[in-house]
Chain A
Amino acid sequence: MKTLLLLLSCWWMTSAAASELLFWHQKEEARAWFPQIAKQYEAATGVRIKVSYLPTGELKTNLMRAVFDGNSPHAAMVPADFIGDHRRLGLRPLADNVFAAGMPPAALQLATYDGNRYGVPLLGGNHLMLFYNKKFVEAPATSWAELVAQRSQVERKGSQLIGWKYAEMYWFVSFMSAFGAFPVDDNAITLDTPETRQALSFYKQIADDGLVDSSCGYGCSYDDFKNGKYAYAINGDWAFKDVSTSLGDDFGVALLPTINGRPMVPMFSGMVLIFPNQDLAGETGKRLTDFAHYLQSQNIQQRFYDDIGSLPVHPQVVDRIQQTATANMQALLEQLQHAKAAPPTPAMAAAWIGMRKGFELYMSGHGSLEKATQLMQRFSEHELKKATKTNLESKQ
């Protein structure tokens, strides 16, 4: 009888654990890759991983909705700065056992807020750099003045100068740094500053001067660049492998050009594995922990680099990459050195929202520079206040 009861309890416990783990990600280059990994994992563990891809820009909102609606995925691979919205994403501090041994502190820092780790670092980088097509560019510009000087030369060769996702704040923030501006300082918003206004003014001016098309979306720096429409593109490490494959020897990577002698410092955030609304103590939690370790394993970390060109965090893999890095990779790694970590703070999460609003106001011509940065500041502060007040999650 006791045995029967024990068997029954084991069976019940087994049945209570999720037979399928839902996993969401936003890496376009991994759309086909992650399902392969999932299949291999299933083959090895019997745990089925259902992979869903969501485009960049929709992952956060879908995750939040899923959390609000109570049907969030078990895990998701997200940019580390999502941790700023840890409350709304239903993230809980993770225990040490979730992390692989030897995880670099710098990587762990990306997923840490207020002394708590809310995600498992999987990838590093996720930063912007300057891509260029050697077919049109002999030597990449190191400053914006040089870039402007190359315009006529590039256009004579049948291409346009440069393209990027103009209205995306992740790109704009790279320009802010050249003017000494940064959206946050610790957990305070610092957007209404003369430096931000200078950056905004410069950013609009280069579009008004025709150096860049202000209506450019991601396609300008990706497909259009690969097709030779642009000589230069500002894009991230996530596109490195694919563009390199497309352009071959014509592909070049360089540091972002300086502006008035000051360097453009892009943000980097890395990618982390989070567990929205999940309690890792239970059986499902064990499976998730196991899955986390799987993704942190050297093998998978190496495959991250080899298969989709993403920068892993595993120290040994990183060393090997550094040792065998091509010139372009070296440039990529060098830019990473000259990048600034996106703080995984609620202030940063709020600042992204505020920046967009002020940016759109100024670019549409309906507000002055002052009005734009004031809007950025007050809206970000309001968002921060809302984010830090007691909300739905805390009532559970």
Chain B
Amino acid sequence: MFEWRRTLRGTLSGIILAAALLPCLLTASYLIERFRTVSQTATVGALEQVARFLTNDVERDYQLLFATVEQLSSDPDIIYAAYTGAFGAKAQQKLEKVRQIHPAAHGLVIVDAFGWPVEVAPTSLELLELEPISPQLNTFFTDRSALNADVLDIDNGQFVQQIYQLQSRDQKEQVELTSNHLFMVLSPLWMSAADKEELHELVGALVVLMPVHSLINAAEKRLGYAQDMGISILDVSMDGQSLLQTQLDRSTLDRHLQIKVQLELEYTEATIELTLGVERISALQQVEALRTELWAIVAGLIIIFGGVAYLGARHLVQPIMVVNQLVSSYANGDYSKKSLKLSFRELQQMATVLEQMAQRIVDDQHQLEQRVKARTSELQTTNEELRHTMDQLKAAQHQLVEAEKMSQLGQLVAGVAHEINTPVGVAVTAATLLERQAQDLEQHVAEESLTRRALEEYVSSTLQTSEMVRSNLQRAANLIRNFKEVAADQSSEHLRQFGLLDYVNSLIKSLQPELKGYQLDISVDGDETLQLHSYPGAYSQVLTNLIMNSLKHGFYRDKHHHIQISFEVHEQHLLLKYRDDGRGIDAVTLPRIFDPFFTTQRTSGGTGLGLHIVYNVVSQKLGGTIEVHSDIGDGVEFNMRMPLALPNRNDAK
């Protein structure tokens, strides 16, 4: 996808699309946002209006109801009904009529001065237990100074539930009440004899039951005309306390645009508030619908403009593509004449120029080919000479390496010869002494002057001298044997089984002549049982070169030095470590120590091949790797890692 954007066609398409759509999107988004604000304001305004209407309606209903209650409380039939049941039938009819006219009056009861319900409407309330409201009734009848009606709040879910159950005829049916509260109007029923004021008697009370549940239902029915707006009643409160059974939680309330309206009701000083709300989502439904419409239009426009952009870009880009193809063909070496005809003049000119350039390239190419042929011939000749020279150089290098090896071997031989010379010389001297002592004994025997003491002295001396001969010759033999091993191994490429620890110790012994003159300790650590099936000569070469290197380049004769040689097996590899505590190698020299002919002591006769030989032997013959770590004054450490199983080679010997 991103590759497509990098094309001219893609870029052009994008630009056309963006240029077409972006202003529209921005304008539309701005307008929608403005519409949203206006819509929200309008919704709030509508909500306020609905709330106002509802408040007016409810207040009017209750005003009318209270006026009726007041009127009814003055009706002789109602008053007398509390006094005597003879008026009950007429009173009941009037109560029923009031109930039908005023739905807010869910139930009406005439109670007499004893708190008995003497008439009720509807009839179902005959069985209503008035016990829950008897405290209010008692207070009402006790406090006879109350001349006016009073609105009381009764909080008793069971009482309210009973009212609805009685009306439903199903005692077990549970109505899901929105509120356990009930507004109760108590209006006194005063009876008086016409001309006898002192006989003004409170004979009962007119009780109007107005469950808040019914109030809410009635209010919601009234809100039916605003059904489209989705307005609902969120709360009804009295003096700040919610009258609802289940109050909405904070998050639910926050999802609504809310408005609180106060109901002004007579006979109560309590503040009754209705909280109306409309879900923000519903309120802004139009906006959301418009937004959805916008996106649908945008999607459509994207498709349309996308098509237009694509076709337009394609038309524009087509000649460029042709030019691109022309250039590609030239790049691929196809310089054949194309004679293109393109839509745009500029591109046509470009194509013409390119074709001319192509023709020039063809001509130049031809000339170049000629020159290249000539030069190639010259180069081939030179190359041949160089190859010959390289072969000669390689041969010389090989000779030098072999010569160095021979030289090393020669040095080794010279060293060993020097060493052998001493014990052989001692042995010869002792043998000569033995010969003289034997001649002396022979003379004594011939002269018959051999004494016992002289014989004993002869035997003792002969034994001592023989021992001297033997030990020195033994020493010489050991030296020769060691040398044989080392030299033989160094000069031969024989694969055999050998114990590495013993072999290294032997090697060190063979190098004793070289080590003389240095204050040196060589320690060898490793598994004495380790047997290698390898080229011992290679190990000999490596260690010999390393030791000789330490002597020549690292050690001071007047200082005590240490060489540590250790080995271990790890993951089918032999890890061989050589460390000395010599003067170390500087950072400039270190990377080059394995280069052939590189030496820092050329003036002292260094050939610069020792470590190169070590590197070759380890990497090629033994199939391993070698690393060097060193710093000035910190000695040098060589870490070699060779596989136990040698790499596959043709070991004819």
Q: How far is the CA of A347 from the CA of B87 in the complex (A)?
A: 16
A-contact bits for B84-115, CB 8 A (1 contact / 0 none): 11111110000000000000000000001010
Residues in A whose Cβ lies below 8 Å from that of B89: 57, 356
Say whether B90 contacts A61, CB under 8 Å: yes
Task: Out of A70, A354, A360, A386, name the residue touching B123 (CB < 8 Å).
Answer: A360
Contact A366 B85 (CB under 8 A): no
Closest to A358 in B: B126
* C-alpha spacing A391/B90, complex, angstroms: 22
Kindly identify which residue among B83, B116, B126, B201 contacts A366, using a CB–CB cutoff of 8 Å: B126
The reply to whether the CB of A336 lies closer than 8 angstroms to some CB of chain B is no
Chain B residues with Cβ under 8 A from A364's Cβ? 123-124
Whether A65 contacts B193 by the Cβ 8 Å rule is no
A383 within 8 A of B: yes
**Are B87 and A64 closer than 8 Å at their CB atoms?**
yes
Checking B77, B126, B127, B191 against A61 with a beta-carbon cut-off of 8 angstroms, the contacting residue is B77
Known: A353-B88, A365-B169, A366-B166. 9 other contacts (CB 8 A): A60-B86, A61-B87, A65-B80, A68-B193, A71-B194, A85-B86, A357-B126, A364-B124, A392-B193
Chain A contacts for B76, CB-based, 8 A? 65, 68-69
Q: Which residues of A contact B127 (CB under 8 A)?
A: 361, 366-367, 371, 375
Point out the residues of chain A lying under 8 angstroms from B201, CB to CB: 392
Which residues of A from 65 to 112 have beta carbons under 8 Å from B?
65, 68-71, 85, 88
Chain A residues with CB under 8 A of B83:
386, 391
What's the Cα separation between A375 and B123 when bound, in Å? 12
Q: Report A349-393 residues with CB < 8 Å from chain B CB.
A: 349-350, 353-354, 356-357, 360-361, 364-367, 371, 375, 379, 382-383, 386-387, 391-392
Q: What does the 1/0 interface line of A41-67 toward B look like (CB < 8 Å)?
A: 000000000000000011011001100
Interface size class of A (residues with CB under 8 A): 35 or more
Question: Taking the complex as formed, is B353 at the interface, i.e. its CB lies under 8 A from any CB of chain A?
Answer: no
Residues of B134-149 at the interface with A, using a CB-CB cut-off of 8 Å, are: none
State the CA gap A71–B195 with chains docked (Å): 10
Residues from chain A with a CB closer than 8 A to the CB of B167 are 366
Interface SS, A side = helix
- Can you report 15 residue pairs joining A to B where beta carbons are below 8 Å apart? A61-B80, A65-B76, A70-B194, A353-B85, A354-B85, A357-B126, A364-B124, A366-B123, A366-B124, A366-B167, A379-B85, A383-B85, A387-B84, A391-B83, A396-B193
A residues with CB within 8 A of B? 57-58, 60-61, 64-65, 68-71, 85, 88, 349-350, 353-354, 356-357, 360-361, 364-367, 371, 375, 379, 382-383, 386-387, 391-392, 395-396
Interface residues of B, count at CB 8 A: 29
> A354–B193 Cα gap in the complex (Å)?
26
Least CB distance from B381 to A in Å reads 131
Within the assembled complex, what's the spacing in Å between the Cα atoms of A385 and B597? 143
**Chain B contacts for A85, CB-based, 8 A:** 84, 86
Question: Is B455 located at the chain interface by the 8 A CB criterion?
Answer: no
B395 sits at the interface (CB 8 A)? no
Give the residue of B86, B118, B124, B196 whose beta carbon is less than 8 angstroms from that of A88.
B86
Residues of B close to A61: CB separation below 8 A = 77, 80, 86-87, 90
Interface residues of B in 186-210 (CB under 8 A from A): 191, 193-196, 199, 201
B91 shortest CB reach to chain A, Å? 9
By Cβ-Cβ distance, the 4 closest A-B pairs, closest first, are A353-B85, A366-B124, A70-B194, A364-B123
The answer for the CA separation of A356 and B89 in the assembled complex, in Å, is 8
Chain A residues within 8 Å of B196, by CB = 70, 395-396
> Is A361 touching B85 in the complex (CB atoms < 8 A)?
no
Residues of chain A contacted by B118 (CB below 8 angstroms): 379
- Per the bound structure, the CA–CA distance linking A349 and B88 in Å amounts to 13
A64: which of B80, B126, B169 is its contact (CB, 8 Å)? Answer: B80
Give complex CA distance A365, B76 in Å: 30
| Interchain CB contact under 8 A, B126 and A68 | no
Contact B116–A64 (Cβ < 8 Å): no
* Complexed CA–CA distance, A364 and B85 (Å): 20
